[in-house]
Amino acid sequence: MEDARYRKYSIEDIEAATDHFSQSRKIGEGGYGPVFKCQGHTPVAVKVLRPDAAQGRSQFRQRVEVLSCIRHPNMVLLLGACPEYGCLVYEYMANGSLEDRLLRRGSTGSGSPLKSQRGCCSSTRPNPNL
């Protein structure tokens, strides 16, 4: 699976960056598998496909193909992958996962997500007085 749109990392690169998948580097766990924060000259997040994950190798390859083409300000950038071992390397985004942000876990913001949505919706309604 050679592709010039993303950098191919070796498992040795991934192991070194994660301190051999040290729990001290683990920052989360999702349906895909564990996520590790790695610190080099630029912090990155490494997602590791669990061997028992519902997504198999073919879905992993498909995910890499799609994500390597996407460049959007609202999407976390895929920097590279280690296809042989199911690892994805993303730019690191501080402040938790998207789920954390949507549910406001660890947030200093006020209000519930529902109140925030209601506020957003009410501010986009047309003003009948204009």
Where exactly does CATH 3.30.200.20 map onto the chain? 7-94
Q: Are 44 and 17 in contact (CB under 8 A)?
A: yes
Architecture field, domain 7-94 = 2-Layer Sandwich (3.30)
- Residues 61-91: pLDDT tens digits? 888 989 999 999 888 899 999 988 999 999 9
Q: How far apart are CA 6 and CA 4, in angstroms?
A: 6
Tokens of 20: 């051999």
Q: How far is CA 71 from CA 5, 74, 78, 79, 112, in A?
A: 11, 9, 9, 11, 31
pLDDT of 125: 52
Q: Are 37 and 27 in contact (CB under 8 A)?
A: yes
Q: Rounded mean pLDDT of the chain?
A: 80
Check whether 30 has a pLDDT greater than 60.
yes
Confidence tier at 12 by pLDDT (50, 70, 90): very high
Percent of the chain with pLDDT over 90: 40
pLDDT top residue among 102 and 64: 64
